Structure 1
Amino acid sequence: MNIKQFAINNISRNIKAYVGYLASIVISSALLFSFIMFTSHPDLEISQFPDYLKEGLKMSKIIAYLFLFFFVFYSVSIFLKSRYKEFGILYITGISKQQVMKLIFIENIIINIASSVIGVIIGLVFSKIFLVIMSTFLELSPLKFYIPINAILSTLFYFIILAILTSVFASFIVKENQVLRLLKGTKTPKPEPKTSLVFVILSICLFVIAYYSAVTSTDQYTTYLRLVPVTSLTILATYLFFSQFSVFFLKKLKLNKRFYRKNTNMLWISNLIYKVKDNARIFFLIAITSAVAFTAIGTVYSFWKDVKRQINLIYPNTMYYSTMTLHNDTKKPDSKEKDTERMRFIESELKKENVDYTRINGEFKTVFPKKSDFNVRIMKESKYLEIIKTIGVNPISFEDNESISLLSSSLPGDKKVKENVVIGNKSLRIVKQVEECVMPAYYDNMYVVKDNFYDSIKSKFIVDRFTTFEVADSSKTTEICRQFENKFNDESGMQPYLFFSKELMIENGKLTYSTFMFLAIFIGMIFFVTTSSFLYNKFYMDCQVDKKKYEQLNKLGMTYNEIKKASTIEIGIVFLLPYVVAVIHSIFALTALRNSFDIEVASSAVLVMGSLFLVQIVYFLIVRNNYLKEIRLNLVNF
């Protein structure tokens, strides 16, 4: 029998040891294939996406690649270490290091190719459903089924390269001069895990500081400023929690003799002390990646659900058009004619579609102070009153020598305005700022003044004219606004202007958040599948050791039901503890989001975390059932 036959027999006869690794690569390859198939679809005009969305797609693919590399390397290192005894016996029987490396290489190639082929087939089978879901989700035209040769080749190529690299990586793990250690394998007695009280206290302190910083972030600036420090503290605290605090807590339970000696508590507590310590890095990885996935999906979903309200806050007008005059700029003679042509186009299209509308023409001045670079925009009170009447906002009254700010106080973040503003040679007291936007939030330094004061400004200013169209049902203007942009967009460089359409903003916002949600879910599923595979591999290896232990305890009189109870508690804590930590991290992160952006996150958090919790419970029940089946095979006393 040659090395190739030996590798094939090793996989086929020991399939249970490989099933977690195989399943994770199958699902990962199916997800990767579906992602490439969707983004490479001939009917999907990625080129029309904004640059930040195209960059987001590229970054998501890179993140998926890198994480899969890391996952496979880490899984292989754990899996190979579980086979120390097997490799030790092979070395003693005369096999060379080159032959062992060849064996590992063939195994990896077979597993990766077989798994990726199965993953591609699964992706193809469900591709039509996937494309329909994504078209609906992103509100695109239905994408037709096609044979994605590029996606198939890219997926297979990626996993073949992965197999080659992991085989090279294996040479650093399995070494011929460590035969004695390989033969002892996992039988080497483990010393009792040690903990440091200093690190235990430090982990608690770091959590308190990180969580307090998160919940006290009340504006966007503070949140951005604290993002890196809080994330770093949370990561460090999480590692110390699993490597120090959790073991310390279990050892304290062990000292409580009354609780420790009750029923099967002695068994699962003693087992968990070693398992939590041994798996601290895996738990840490699962907790952090899950927290990232929960927070990312919850954040994007919250913004996606709230996009219409956000746009209405920022852009109160159904359609807004304004000239853009630069300081000391002389406008071209035909500028007014072009402005008139654009407005005439909108009106003709509205009339053609039988859409009732209200048109308001106005202007504002940008005033440049003498001794400052700070400029302010001012609008007449009469025009302000005319606009708010059409959009249904209550008016704010003010006296001479006073002004009101059009910077909305309802926008997220710190939006306080100055008490006074200098316009020309006169200082006006700001009596109030509007609660709702009257003009687009693009203008963050605009004030309303009395008409006579506005007319008295004679020097150092420029005038921009604007037109607003208000429609009762703004959704009827979507196609009109799209036609306007297609017709006049190329002219914006020659005669600068601003054009804002509420419906196009909402449409673009939904597309943006839908795309980011798709990317967040894709990355989150990659994280979930790979980290779940970590747990399965660890439980399979532990099961091989636990079978002998429980067989001996069973002969001493321990029943299957007692073993089942202890194992359920043990597996449940191992599965759910990283999840609970990830949920707590995400709750504080989403709280900071709510405080900073004034956005509702509770329903998003419940939906995202609740859905993944159900999936985790199902996975826990499957692993627990398989684990107990393996344990029960060797028992004699039920």
Structure 2
Amino acid sequence: MNFPQFAFNNVRRNARAYIAYFLSSSFMVMIFFAYSVFIYHPGVANSEMGPSSATSMQIAAFIVYIFAFFFVLYSISSFLKSRNLEFGLLTILGARPGQINKLIFMENMLIGFFAIVTGLAGGMLLSKLFLLLSTRVIGIDDLPFYWPVKAILITSISFISLFLVISIFTLLFIRKNRVLELLQGNAKPKKQPKASILLTLLGTALLATGFFTLQIEIGSPTVLLVAAITGIAGTYFFYSQLSVFIVRLLQRSRKSTWRGTRLLWISEMSYKLRDNSRILFMITVVTALASMGAGVVLSLNQAGRDVYHENPFSVNMTYYQTPDSKTELNRIHQELEQAGVEYTEIRIDTLYSSAVTGDGKEHTLRLMGLQQFNKLASSLGLKEDNKLGRNEAILIDSEAIFIDSKEQVAADYVVNGMVTLKEQSAAALTVKESLETDAFAFFQSSAPILVVPEPWMDTVQTALAAESEANASPMIEYAYKVPAWDTGALPKADSPEAIAGANLGKWNAEMSKKSETPFFLTTRANTYMLLKQSTAMISFVSIFVALIFSVSSASFLYFKLHSELTADIRMYRALSKIGLSTREMSATATKQIAVLFYIPVFVSALQSYVVVRPVMSSLVNTGVGSSVLVTFAAYLVLQSVFFLIVKSRYIWSLKKMMV
């Protein structure tokens, strides 16, 4: 038997230990290859959203590659530690350190080669399905299958380089232990895990710092950086110190712990939590990052749906100055008439003004005439026929979905029940009524609206013109209500509203490029479809990245449990001799494995909610609890599948050794 055959037999005979690592590596190669197939497809460049989609998949492929590097590096180092006994025997038989290094290098490259071949084969089989799914989800034309020579070459070279570099890198850090230490392998008795009170308090303080940092102004990058650093560091100390400390406290409670098999599995948990602290920490951080990304995407999707449903107008045209002609409006009329729908055109004139508070601060608001407001009321679902006295006003706090400024709230404008305008400070307006509504969410600004009698509009406009020494034109908005499109259902890509919105959106973009146009056009369908396409692309890319994270996490835990299997077999066999039943052994082992599998999921879900809630609250006025809950449920289901597989194999191995 030559040396390559010896290395091959080592891999083949340790197939049970290597299988999870091999499959995870193959899965990474397959996903990287699938992204490459899309990126280098000839038809992508000719598609409207193809280049941006390819860029997103390049970023995802880069993330997969970086994660694969650390996954392979950590896995190989863990495998080497579990083979100390084997290396000790080889040393006694006369193997030189250089030969052992050569053996390790050949084994790593052998596994890497088969992982690349398997990943490419799986990717080739699924590439057509991947192209079909990606085009349908992103919303571009179907891409035909092609022979991806460039994708195969790039994937092969990338992962051969990865395994080669890591194999060489690992050899530089192999510990030159004495033969006796190698022969003892993992059979050396473990020291009782102890938690440092100082590090436990430090971990608690770091987690608290990260939590309370996120409760202050979230817009600062410094705040996010501090929260990220303290949160990640605190998570590590939670597993390495705080969890061990909690288990030690449980062990001291004889009344609750010293009953049945509780003492057995709780005592074992302190060892398993300490030994697996790095893996649990890494799984938690990776899962939390993936959950946060998914939570943000789901929240943006929900915000997009809310924006569409809460906008009563299908088309909005905003003029920043009085138009010389209505050419732009004729383009809108033409598109609506081609769609064959009836519509109502509503003109909305508003003025930007400032309210002065008692401390001298100025806050921006928009003035609207009472007659204008009454015309809009029926379309917006508000009370009609409102009446105002000469110096009375209605203050409307517009609850926009996408928030521009959290500082602009109605309370900042009212002093003793009155609003004082900067342009007419001699007289104040009594706030007859304050409304909080999202009916004006279609406006391009979230500034509150002050409904005033018509004479006040003329007075403020005159003051603004005198102040700027020019004609202070009001902002003019034309809103188009199309009853046929107000069905309550979201538009599809081929629906008349979506088609008309896309046509007007393209025309608006072309006009913006030609000159500095004094208008801005939006359509609710086009806005929704663009947001849907962008989030769908991110979701599609994120799903496969999250799958890699989940599969790799399960692979980590499977390997750690397998490496500890020999010691656990000896322990449970000894306990079975003094009366431990197979059922009790199964229940004890199940609880220990469940803790390792589910603690990272619950901790990452909590961290995701703590981070996503303030971040998204500063961007969109919509709840994030349901988004995080959906993401958490998906990970919980996926982790449960892996848990059942690993648990069944682990307990099956233990049952064979029970007396």
- Look up the equivalent residue of 1:307 and give its one-letter code: G
Which residue of 314, 326, 336 maps to 1:350? 336
- Look up the equivalent residue of 1:500 and give its one-letter code: T
Matching of residue 624 in structure 1 with residue 647 in structure 2: yes
Shift of 1:503: 0.6
Which residue of 548, 554, 558 maps to 1:532? 554
Deviations 1:138-181 (CA, angstroms, capped at 9, x unpaired)? 34444444443333333322221210121122123324465443
Partner of 1:566: 588
Partner of 2:346: 360
Distance in 2, Cα, partners of 1:566 & 1:211? 35
Deviations 1:535-554 (CA, angstroms, capped at 9, x unpaired)? 01101100133233334444
Deviations 1:492-549 (CA, angstroms, capped at 9, x unpaired)? 2414121111110011111122222223323322221222111011011001332333
Matching of residue 114 in structure 1 with residue 114 in structure 2: yes
Residues 505, 522 of structure 2: 8 Å contact kept: no
Partner of 2:480: 469
Partner of 2:262: 265
Deviations 1:377-435 (CA, angstroms, capped at 9, x unpaired)? 54444334333444443356544345556651455545314233312676654734662
Partner of 2:248: 251
Matching of residue 18 in structure 1 with residue 11 in structure 2: no
- Look up the equivalent residue of 1:491 and give its one-letter code: M
Partner of 1:238: 235
Higher alpha-carbon deviation: 7-16 or 296-305? 296-305
Residues 218, 615 of structure 2: 8 Å contact kept: no
Residues 404, 447 of structure 1: 8 Å contact kept: yes
SS in 2 for 1:187: coil
- Look up the equivalent residue of 1:284 and give its one-letter code: F
TM-score by length of 1: 0.86
Which residue of 324, 333, 350 maps to 1:336? 324
Which residue of 428, 441, 444 maps to 1:442? 444
Distance in 1, Cα, partners of 2:285 & 2:204? 17
Partner of 1:154: 154
Shift of 1:239: 1.9
Shift of 1:112: 1.8
Distance in 2, Cα, partners of 1:50 & 1:122? 24
Partner of 1:328: none
Partner of 2:163: 163
Distance in 1, Cα, partners of 2:630 & 2:361? 51
Summarize the alignment of residues 492-571 of structure 1 with structure 2, pairs less than 5 Å apart: 492-493=512-513, 494-496=515-517, 497-571=519-593
Q: Per the alignment, do residues 622 and 376 of structure 1 end up closer, same or farther by CA in structure 2, a change over 3 Å counting?
A: closer
Distance in 2, Cα, partners of 1:559 & 1:56? 54
Distance in 1, Cα, partners of 2:230 & 2:14? 43
Which residue of 495, 501, 504 maps to 1:481? 501
Higher alpha-carbon deviation: 508-517 or 360-369? 360-369
Shift of 1:278: 1.3
Shift of 1:125: 2.4
SS in 2 for 1:336: coil
Give the root-mean-square deviation of aligned CA atoms: 3.5
Residues 304, 509 of structure 1: 8 Å contact kept: yes
Residues 406, 444 of structure 1: 8 Å contact kept: no
Residues 3, 102 of structure 1: 8 Å contact kept: no
Distance in 2, Cα, partners of 1:382 & 1:221? 40
- Look up the equivalent residue of 1:303 and give its one-letter code: L
Residues 401, 429 of structure 1: 8 Å contact kept: yes
Higher alpha-carbon deviation: 348-357 or 298-307? 298-307
Deviations 1:115-137 (CA, angstroms, capped at 9, x unpaired)? 12222322332334334433443
Distance in 2, Cα, partners of 1:515 & 1:566? 44
Which residue of 317, 321, 324 maps to 1:321? 317
Distance in 2, Cα, partners of 1:427 & 1:120? 77
Q: Per the alignment, do residues 526 and 394 of structure 1 end up closer, same or farther by CA in structure 2, a change over 3 Å counting?
A: farther
Q: Which runs of 5+ in 2 are unaligned?
A: 415-419, 486-490
Shift of 1:213: 6.3
Matching of residue 6 in structure 1 with residue 17 in structure 2: no
Distance in 1, Cα, partners of 2:578 & 2:289? 46
Higher alpha-carbon deviation: 119-128 or 569-578? 119-128
Shift of 1:357: 0.4
Distance in 2, Cα, partners of 1:373 & 1:558? 76
Q: Per the alignment, do residues 82 and 587 of structure 1 end up closer, same or farther by CA in structure 2, a change over 3 Å counting?
A: same
Residues 422, 428 of structure 1: 8 Å contact kept: no
- Look up the equivalent residue of 1:33 and give its one-letter code: F
Residues 223, 592 of structure 1: 8 Å contact kept: no
Higher alpha-carbon deviation: 522-531 or 390-399? 390-399
SS in 1 for 2:444: coil
Residues 405, 430 of structure 1: 8 Å contact kept: no
Distance in 2, Cα, partners of 1:560 & 1:177? 38
Distance in 2, Cα, partners of 1:189 & 1:302? 50
Q: Per the alignment, do residues 148 and 449 of structure 1 end up closer, same or farther by CA in structure 2, a change over 3 Å counting?
A: farther
Partner of 1:607: 630
Summarize the alignment of residues 566-605 of structure 1 with structure 2, pairs less than 5 Å apart: 566-589=588-611, 591-592=613-614, 597-605=620-628
Shift of 1:471: 1.0
Distance in 2, Cα, partners of 1:12 & 1:430? 85
Identity of aligned residues (%): 27
Distance in 2, Cα, partners of 1:295 & 1:452? 51
- Look up the equivalent residue of 1:102 and give its one-letter code: K
Q: Per the alignment, do residues 9 and 415 of structure 1 end up closer, same or farther by CA in structure 2, a change over 3 Å counting?
A: same
Partner of 2:417: none
Distance in 2, Cα, partners of 1:490 & 1:410? 28
